[in-house]
Amino acid sequence: MPEVLAHAIARLERAGVETPRLDAEILLAEACGVSRTGLLARRAPLTESEARRLHVMLARREQREPLAYIVGRREFFSLDFEVNPDVLIPRPETETLAAAALDYLKTRAPSRVLDIGTGSGILAVTLAVNEPRARIVATDVSKQALEVARRNARRHRCADRIEFVEADLFPPGDERFDLVVSNPPYIQNQSIDELQPEVARFEPRRALAGGADGLGFYRRIAEGVRARLGGGGAVMVEVGAGQGEQVAGIFRCSGLKVVARLSDLAGIERVIHAQL
């Protein structure tokens, strides 16, 4: 088994993968149907089928396909989420937005929440699991993404408290919400091809492209959100590195008061919290 792991690491190193040992361990464990801890205790050689599975997965990773797409899942906020190329892969920095939203909801329960651009459903499901009194509407323009989100809601047994709606930002009607959350696309269109191959070549461009300056979706959210917030309602959005001041200004210009600007664990400003 050590020889198999060493060979896998070498393949991924040659392919330019940033974390070759970690990725090789995860793929080897996946091929064997065990956890990484279980892999350490294993002494038996790979079976033919296990070796075949490992080879296929390594070949995909050598092409820089994201690890999460290969294994079909990614952890977020201590929950396991299905992911595939129809949805953006959850990032740790988005947990800053989830934590801020949960802190807010604890003071305003029960609440109605709108999750704009839900993707795989990580925000909607995380909020539903951790704040059972919340009722959530989750929108996305992608039918395929909504199907992934629905499966994740069923996986975590909260589908009865989330309404998934195919919509471009806001759902039809005039329903008002206590909290609007969103991790919108915020990469400048012309910069996407400069990102890591895992992102530029494999993740859905529609979930990345934020317009010429990366701020297009924030303007659209700010334009429509006042009409969808109840009394004292709030909007919280994730922002890209260095975008905090500009996004805060967009919400101020729309008539909202920016009450908090939160940083992630790396000290990068990630969340703008504005209220009526």
**Is the model's pLDDT at 155 over the cut of 90?**
yes
**CATH code (residue 39):** 1.10.8.10
Domain boundary among 37, 63, 89: 63
Same domain, 194 and 58: no
78 and 57 assigned to the same domain? no
173-210 residue pLDDT tens: 999 999 999 999 999 999 999 999 999 999 999 999 99
* Residues 52 and 87 grouped into a single domain: no
Please determine, for residue 38, whether its predicted confidence score (pLDDT) is greater than 90.
Answer: no
Any residues with CB less than 8 A from the CB of 194 and at least 6 apart, and which?
200
Tell me the CATH number at 266: 3.40.50.150
pLDDT at 235 over 90: yes
In the predicted model, what is the mean pLDDT of residues 117-137?
Answer: 98
* Average pLDDT of the residues in 67-92: 98
Predicted pLDDT of residue 81: 98
Task: Give the amino acid at 105.
Answer: L
Query: By mean pLDDT, which of 30-44, 125-139, 196-210 is the weakest?
Result: 30-44
- The mean pLDDT of the chain is 96
Does 220 have pLDDT greater than 80?
yes
- For residue 271, the enclosing domain spans 73-275
